[in-house]
Structure 1
Amino acid sequence: MSSADWNMKTFMKGASILTISAIVVKLLAAVYRIPFQNLVGDKGFYIYQQVYPFIGIFIVWTSYGFAVAVSKLLAGSASKGESKAVMRIALIYLTCLSVSFFIILMVFAPFFANAMGDAQLVSLLRAGAYIVLIMPMLAVLKGSFQSEGRMTPVAVSNVGEQALRVAIILVGTWVAVRAGASLYTAGEVAMWGAVIGQALGVVILALFYRNAYKGPLERVDTWGIVKELTFVSLSVSASSLILLLFQMVDSFTVYNSLLAKGIVADAAMEMKGVYDRGQPLVQMGILIASTLALAIVPLISHHAAKKSGRGAEPFIQLTFRTAFLFGWAAAVGLALVLPYVNEMLFETRDGSVALIIFSFQIFWLSLILPLTAILQGAGKVKVPTLLLFGGLLVKVIANQWLVPHVDVTGAAVAGNIGFTVIALGLLLYFKKVWSVRLAPVRFYGWLLTATAAMVAVIIPWMIVADQFLFDNLSSRIGATLTALTAVVLGAGVFLIVVMKSRIMAEKEWYLLPFGRRFARVQLWLTKNRR
């Protein structure tokens, strides 16, 4: 085995470890919100979701964006002395940024809270501010490990910090609610859970860290490193930040617009809390797209560098078709069963129309995340980043126009409009960069056929299940059984049509995370046609 093969195998093994840990982290991030909402209700969920984007944006930017930027600079360093100098500059720069953001959040917390229409959010903003002080060490350590291809410490840290955070949020909230504390106190406990979780991440990485270099630091271009850190960190984290930025727009506009319309404060809070139920649903729905961006993109980068063979084109086509396929199936499937899923997870069917519209964001994000990642991997950063912020501006304008007319349903429509602008812009730019046909007409035809089959099976089943099979059970248990059986039935029918059509070849399934089983089922389904 050549050294090049060994390097690629090592690289892909590291990417696989990171991908699996990312799946666990994203699942935990989506799932914990459901028991949390059940503990604090829609008003308590509103309180948490108003403030979460403030800390979420900084977590993503530093622990993901800056970690990648540090990793890239370290990987390009010519010597140990240069690497140490880069790490030192990165740590000092990040520390300055962190302290600045900490001071801004502490001092201007009353301003931000009032701008969101709720002065009682000040304590949550100030509790969450402490997380930014932890970020410099976390980002630099992650970047150091990633530059060496040592993904295990990063994966352990990611899962450890998220698991502790979720545990503190849920246990702490339960204790606070049982003790009769206010919902704002429960929200503050949740903020501290995030802070303590990130602190554990630093401790785990520090335990793995070992670097015995004691020599002199080499002279490097400090200003050049700072510019590179800023540019790379913002560009690579832009697609991950966009969902949080859309949430922040909602934090500043939805509740205020509802109040301006004459809705009383408590009712407006509950309406915003019901609308926020869509966040964990979308996060779970885009899990496949997020995983694709992590797992397939390294393959694309590797093959794009090859001068022989077909290069990256087959992997680009595979990524697009898989993202389109599963993003569309998840969005349509969730929309169909949403009233039952809403009651199953959140106790009531309130806001189901808004959440059905909200769920279609899954489809657009399923295209945006891998497309942005592929373009960034090819060094095309500026245009995707501009498109992302253009879509954000569209969301701001659409919120201001739609929410006063149709309440939270308007915010859900505005989100879809913003993401549609980004996705279509990315596709048009993508076609300029690669003049490759992403999918044949046959692919879209069979996708519509599979969707029609799913709809034809799910709707009659839900009517029968709801009105006859589970009608003697409690409302929530009946909704749970209806939702789960409909999901299994719908997904089964959709996948059978897709596999029988062979719009995804068996060898393509094998390239996807956990795709081996799909390939085996497809081989069995199509064995008489071969």
Structure 2
Amino acid sequence: MAKQQQRIFAGAGVLALAGIIAKILSAVYRVPFQNIVGNQGFYVYQQVYPIYGIGMVMALSGWPLFISKMVAEQPTQAAKQLVARRLFWLLTGISVLIFVGIYFGANVIANAMNDALLAPEIKAVAWMFLFMPVLATSRGYTQGQFNMVPTAISQVIEQVVRVAVILGVAWFGMQQAWNAYQIGTWATFGATIAAVATGSYLLGSFRQIGPFQRQTKAATADLRWRVLGRRLWREGTLLAVLAALLVFLQLIDSFTIKGLLEQGGMASHVAETTKGVYDRGQPLVQLGMVVATGVGTALLPTLHAHFEAHEDAALKATFQTTLRITLIVSLLTPVGLIAIMPVINQFLFSSREGDSALMWYVTIIVPATLITVLASVLQSMNRTKGLITMIGVTLVLKYGLNNLLMPQFAIVGASVATMLALLPLLVYSMYQLPRPLWRGMFTWNWWFRVVGMLMAMMVVAIGVRMLGDQIFGLGRGASILTTILAAGSGAIVGVALLLRLKILNEQELLALPKGEKLVVLMKGKSDAIR
């Protein structure tokens, strides 16, 4: 048992590392891509990206998590293969339906996005869905047997191939004077090429389930087609939708922003470039969440182990450590980004357009990160009732708030709409957790110290940023130097006050990467004060 537990934790570490690498790649490539193709080219790509994003999440985390759970529940190897085989065929039916709906409905979807020229790109992304059953089943089957390596490696392969294709297409297309829609179509098709490469790597894992063996009768009632289909819908859908929540919100933006900007009197071309500016916020949020969710979810296996063992005191301590760390990191990230937004915007994307909208957009790092961590805790405690309904409420709110706020505030309104739409889901997730877990976690004095730290960090970073603009100028090269100085100054002040004010205790600091050094620093400061 100890060996198996050690294997699970080691596998979780490998998977988490691969996930961080893949997320960084997924966020970072958009910067050179936008620099190559410009705001309109970025708009064209980003309009259809959420469709890919939903499929990717289903094939990478949503469905594989459900399949791994089902496989792990089975007592024999034959039952594990049978459940994986049947889920593969169920997913194949779903994937074919999705492909048909997207491919043959491409014109309808493009018109709903207020841009008929997007239809070829939408057709290009549809092909990826045909590979989802192989990817999801292979990953889920190996994870269910506590082997995380195939999923981890396949995740990195998928992102490396896709990013290489996208950037290669962008460069080649600009050399050949392709228009933005041609580049967008071939860049989007990179997802299918990546799926082929990933599927080739996972073929060995896929063969283990014997997908084309003659279907036998289920050994137990739990493995009947109807039961599996019902569980796939109830549990698998929840996992997939939770993982893809931000992508669904981006999809609503794809359907609403351009049309609402045009209704406000903006010319079509200007609306497209404005949406491209708004989309700059997505890689910033992705990168911001990589750190916060990575730190916040590191303790979840320990939390689940305490829950299974009914160790209430240890469960409460680990939960409070997890949440306080998540909250602090998720607050520091957007505050830092807001303070230096004008220069980081120019440094990464070559202009300071849309600063206000991007400042509002990065605030979603806080609720989105907390929802991700809290939902994982709720899943580990089997308390997910009502979450799928609240996700539906979030999406409806986002659509309604876009329509309410954008006529007056344009893309700033769209950013605020995303933040406000996430709040009810955050409150509900907090409410679903047992009350004793929250007891004694926060005090007014603690909140006062946190606010003081954030304000000091922001004032210093803004001051250095403004001084840098005066000394080095407003050019792109100058913005790189100003970004480094302002971000570094703010980070130093933030960490110093975090330790000086003892916002995190010694146990919480030790849970952070290089936490031992932070503890030494904190103790050194305390000794100096005495």
Give me the TM-score of the superposition, normalised by structure 1: 0.94
- Residue 332 of structure 1 is aligned with which of 332, 335, 345? 335
Partner of 2:108: 111
* Residue 210 of structure 1: how far off its partner (Å): 6.8
**Distance in 1 separating the partners of 2:401 and 2:206:** 47
Letter in 2 for 1:361: I
**Distance in 1 separating the partners of 2:341 and 2:409:** 20
Q: What CA deviation, in whole Å up to 9, does each residue of 1:38-91 have, x standing for no partner?
A: 111111111111101112112212321110111011101121221121111111
**Distance in 1 separating the partners of 2:225 and 2:382:** 23
Contact 2:297 2:322 in 1 (8 A): no
Partner of 1:129: 126
What secondary structure, in the 3-state scheme, does the structure 2 residue paired with 1:311 have? helix
- Asked if 1:276 corresponds to 2:279, the answer is yes
Q: Please show how residues 136-285 of structure 1 align to structure 2 within 5 Å.
A: 136-207=133-204, 211=208, 217=216, 219=218, 220-285=223-288
Letter in 2 for 1:192: F
In structure 2, the CA distance between the partners of 1:410 and 1:215, relative to structure 1 (3 Å rule), is closer
- Asked if 1:496 corresponds to 2:478, the answer is no
In structure 2, the CA distance between the partners of 1:405 and 1:152, relative to structure 1 (3 Å rule), is same
Letter in 2 for 1:436: R
> Which of 126-135 and 60-69 deviates more?
60-69
**Distance in 2 separating the partners of 1:465 and 1:174:** 33
**Distance in 2 separating the partners of 1:117 and 1:406:** 20
What secondary structure, in the 3-state scheme, does the structure 2 residue paired with 1:508 have? helix
Letter in 2 for 1:419: L
Q: Please show how residues 239-388 of structure 1 align to structure 2 within 5 Å.
A: 239-292=242-295, 294-308=297-311, 310-388=313-391
Contact 2:343 2:465 in 1 (8 A): no
- Asked if 1:508 corresponds to 2:486, the answer is no
Q: What CA deviation, in whole Å up to 9, does each residue of 1:331-359 have, x standing for no partner?
A: 11111110111100000000111111111
**Distance in 2 separating the partners of 1:227 and 1:389:** 19
Contact 1:292 1:370 in 2 (8 A): no
Q: What CA deviation, in whole Å up to 9, does each residue of 1:117-165 have, x standing for no partner?
A: 0000001000000100010000000001111111111111111111111
> Which of 15-24 and 203-212 deviates more?
203-212
**Distance in 2 separating the partners of 1:91 and 1:383:** 27
Partner of 1:415: 418
In structure 2, the CA distance between the partners of 1:13 and 1:513, relative to structure 1 (3 Å rule), is farther
Structure 1 regions of 5+ residues with no counterpart?
none
- What RMSD in Å do the two structures reach over aligned CA positions? 2.0
* Residue 273 of structure 1: how far off its partner (Å): 0.6
* Residue 192 of structure 1: how far off its partner (Å): 1.4
Contact 1:53 1:247 in 2 (8 A): yes
Contact 2:34 2:42 in 1 (8 A): yes
**Distance in 2 separating the partners of 1:514 and 1:153:** 28
Partner of 2:20: 23
In structure 2, the CA distance between the partners of 1:517 and 1:45, relative to structure 1 (3 Å rule), is farther
Partner of 1:60: 57
**Distance in 2 separating the partners of 1:515 and 1:199:** 41
- Asked if 1:93 corresponds to 2:90, the answer is yes
In structure 2, the CA distance between the partners of 1:452 and 1:382, relative to structure 1 (3 Å rule), is same
**Distance in 2 separating the partners of 1:160 and 1:523:** 43
* Residue 513 of structure 1: how far off its partner (Å): 4.8
Contact 1:15 1:294 in 2 (8 A): no
**Distance in 2 separating the partners of 1:461 and 1:9:** 47
> Which of 256-265 and 229-238 deviates more?
229-238
* Residue 433 of structure 1: how far off its partner (Å): 7.9
> Which of 174-183 and 438-447 deviates more?
438-447
What secondary structure, in the 3-state scheme, does the structure 1 residue paired with 2:265 have? coil
What secondary structure, in the 3-state scheme, does the structure 1 residue paired with 2:178 have? coil
**Distance in 1 separating the partners of 2:387 and 2:101:** 29
**Distance in 2 separating the partners of 1:94 and 1:514:** 42
Q: What CA deviation, in whole Å up to 9, does each residue of 1:146-185 have, x standing for no partner?
A: 1111111111111111111111111111111111011111
- Asked if 1:478 corresponds to 2:478, the answer is yes
**Distance in 2 separating the partners of 1:130 and 1:209:** 20
In structure 2, the CA distance between the partners of 1:488 and 1:161, relative to structure 1 (3 Å rule), is same
Give me the TM-score of the superposition, normalised by structure 2: 0.94
Q: What CA deviation, in whole Å up to 9, does each residue of 1:266-304 have, x standing for no partner?
A: 000011110111111111111123214542221111111
* Residue 516 of structure 1: how far off its partner (Å): 4.4
* Residue 207 of structure 1: how far off its partner (Å): 4.0
Count of residue pairs the alignment pairs up: 524
* Residue 508 of structure 1: how far off its partner (Å): 2.4
Contact 1:117 1:256 in 2 (8 A): yes
> Which of 303-312 and 128-137 deviates more?
303-312
